[in-house]
Amino acid sequence: MAKKNNDKAKHTIRNSQSEIQNSSLVAVIMGSQSDWDTMKHAGETLEKFGVAHECRVISAHRSPSLASEFGSTAEASGLEVIIAAAGGAAHLAGVMAAHTTLPVLGVPMRSEALNGLDSLLSTVQMPGGIPVATLAIGKPGAVNAALFAVAILANSRPELRKKLHEFREAQEAKIRATKL
């Protein structure tokens, strides 16, 4: 297990279900290791807010029993939000949502075949009763999924709500200061 720690958050990359990280509030999962170049931006965003999280590869198709086990035990392990990224058929977020009542945020990955449109449609087209909040394709979706997770957690954590307000204020100040 590889760990990266800082003063603000615990970030864990784990490779087996036995490596439970009970302090994680958010799981950032992806269907393939190749998705990490995009999804690392979700992890980095969560770190900036000091949110403990874990990152791992789980495939809805190549490791269905692992996906089922992870989704079914996510709430009991202390997780509060799952960010699930996948490309192509992109069923990972839907499989997670089918196995837990935790909020699931889907991030469609850019694909070679249809530039991510296939991933977007697969992630967003969930049957009524099994919700997945679907974000943008690629890096913007990864960052926004992390920000959405922070917003969810901030509902019961005033310190996170304050950080989120400060983040938004800094964004606005940067735009106001922009000179062309």
DSSP characters for 112-163? TTTTTHHHHHHHH-PPTTS--EE--SSHHHHHHHHHHHHHHHHTT-HHHHHH
Domain boundaries defined on the chain = 2-176
Mean pLDDT of 120-129: 95
pLDDT at site 104? 98
Pick the CATH number of 2-176 from 3.40.1360.10, 3.40.50.1970, 3.40.50.10420, 3.40.190.150: 3.40.50.1970
- Contact in structure between 49 and 163 (CB atoms under 8 Å): yes
- Confidence tier at 42 by pLDDT (50, 70, 90): very high
Mean pLDDT of 47-61: 97
CA distance 110 to 179: 33
pTM score of the predicted model: 0.89
Cα–Cα–Cα angle for 123, 111, 1, nearest 5°? Answer: 80
pLDDT at site 73? 98
Q: What are the respective helix, strand and coil percentages of the chain, to the nearest 5?
A: 45, 15, 40
